[in-house]
């Protein structure tokens, strides 16, 4: 038997022990950096037992090292930057895990619940709302929210996304039903702010922050659309008549002022008459109407009677 054949079994048994030692040191360093003393003690105790066995029983220590490597590697958890981890130990909340690599207890003693803290968007389904003036409308909205306390989001509500969506539906029907149709159409920004405040207050115990609520569309019945179109047309006609009457009023005022000026100079009436005739003549009309002063009518009537 050569020297290599004698040394080969020792090397084979030594490699798992060395790998287990490296992983064990990294695990203890992570546990200490996270200030998690129980995790450091448990993993440290496993490592000490395995290394003691390796010193007296190399073969048993090799298999123990392989088991230790599996235990240590399965105890690692990675929390992404946009998430937080809620750690439970034996069913009770242990701590909130920050982003990065962390170590937990093996054998299911520790359980991690990852919570996404990015902004969520909920498309509230279309809701049929009866307004304060008894007009049925169909309204849909969008709710924007994020988790500001992952522990509350995990422990106080089973599904915070679904719960926020259902709460948004009921709040939308309740709040919009307290306003008239004209308010829904003209004061949408104010209603969005009211909806946001109510939803934010209701979801605050769940660790949810509602940042924005937007009413996307308001669908009216066809009969109401036709009535509103007739109302708008009548409004436009009313404005047109008012503008025309105001124009006539201004024109009459100017005519009255012109009449007052002409009354001081009787010859100006004759000049105006001649100017009108010249304007008519330029249009190449075949018929020209001459105005006759009313004072001449009795004279013409008298002559006709004499004849």
Q: What is the pTM of this model?
A: 0.67
H helix intervals, the chain = 3-33, 37-56, 58-73, 150-155, 160-176, 181-186, 188-203, 222-264, 267-282, 296-306
The H or E element spanning position 129 is strand 120-130
* DSSP E strand boundaries for 172-305: 208-219
The H or E element spanning position 228 is helix 222-264
* DSSP E strand boundaries for 20-82: 76-79
What are the structure tokens assigned to 287, written together? Answer: 């018929």
Sheet (strand 208-219) strand order: 120-130, 136-147, 208-219
What are the structure tokens assigned to 208, written together? Answer: 């949810």
CB 289 within 8 A of CB 276: no
The residue among 144, 166, 164 whose CA lies nearest residue 215 is: 144
The residue among 42, 66, 41 whose CA lies nearest residue 53 is: 66
CB 69 within 8 A of CB 20: yes
Residue 120, beta-bridge partner list: 145
CA gap 71, 110 in Å, rounded: 13
Contacts of 127 (CB under 8 A, 6+ apart): 138, 139, 140, 169, 172, 173
Give the dihedral sign, CA 45/46/49/55.
negative
* Class level of CATH domain 120-224: alpha beta
Per-residue pLDDT 10s for the chain (307 aa) are 443 444 444 566 777 778 888 888 888 888 888 888 888 888 888 888 888 887 777 777 788 888 888 888 888 999 999 999 999 988 898 888 889 888 988 888 889 999 999 999 988 888 888 888 888 888 889 999 999 999 999 999 989 999 999 999 888 888 888 888 888 888 888 889 999 999 999 999 999 999 999 988 888 877 776 777 787 778 888 888 888 888 888 888 877 777 777 777 666 766 676 677 676 666 666 666 666 666 666 666 666 666 5
Task: Give the residue extent of every domain in the chain.
Answer: 3-116, 120-224
CB 207 within 8 A of CB 152: yes
């Amino acid at each position: 038997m050569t020297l290599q054949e004698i040394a080969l079994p020792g090397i084979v048994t030594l490699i798992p022990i060395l790998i287990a030692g490296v992983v064990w040191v990294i695990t203890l360093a992570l546990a200490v950096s996270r200030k998690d003393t129980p995790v450091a003690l448990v993993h440290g105790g496993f490592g000490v037992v395995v290394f003691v066995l390796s010193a007296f029983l190399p073969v048993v220590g090799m298999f123990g090292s392989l088991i230790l490597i599996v235990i240590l590697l399965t105890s690692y958890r990675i929390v992404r930057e946009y998430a937080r981890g809620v750690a439970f130990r034996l069913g009770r909340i242990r701590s909130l895990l920050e982003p990065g690599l962390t170590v937990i207890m093996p054998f299911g003693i520790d359980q991690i619940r990852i919570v996404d803290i990015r902004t969520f968007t909920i498309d509230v389904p279309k809701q049929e709302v009866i307004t304060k003036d008894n007009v049925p409308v169909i309204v849909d909205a969008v709710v924007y929210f994020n988790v500001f306390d992952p522990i509350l989001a995990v422990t106080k509500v089973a599904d915070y996304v679904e719960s926020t969506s259902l709460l948004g539906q009921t709040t939308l029907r309740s709040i919009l039903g307290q306003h008239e149709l004209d308010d829904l159409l003209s004061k949408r920004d104010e209603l969005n702010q009211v909806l946001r405040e109510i939803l934010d207050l209701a979801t605050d115990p769940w660790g949810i922050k509602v940042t924005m609520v937007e009413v996307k569309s308001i669908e009216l019945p066809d009969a109401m659309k036709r009535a509103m179109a007739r109302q708008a047309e009548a409004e436009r006609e009313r404005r047109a008549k008012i503008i025309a009457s105001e124009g006539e009023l201004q024109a009459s005022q100017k005519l009255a002022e012109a009449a007052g000026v002409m009354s001081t100079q009787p010859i100006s009436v004759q000049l105006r008459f001649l100017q009108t005739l010249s304007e008519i003549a330029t249009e190449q009309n075949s018929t020209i109407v001459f105005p006759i002063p009313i004072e001449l009518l009795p004279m013409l009537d008298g002559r006709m009677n004499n004849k």
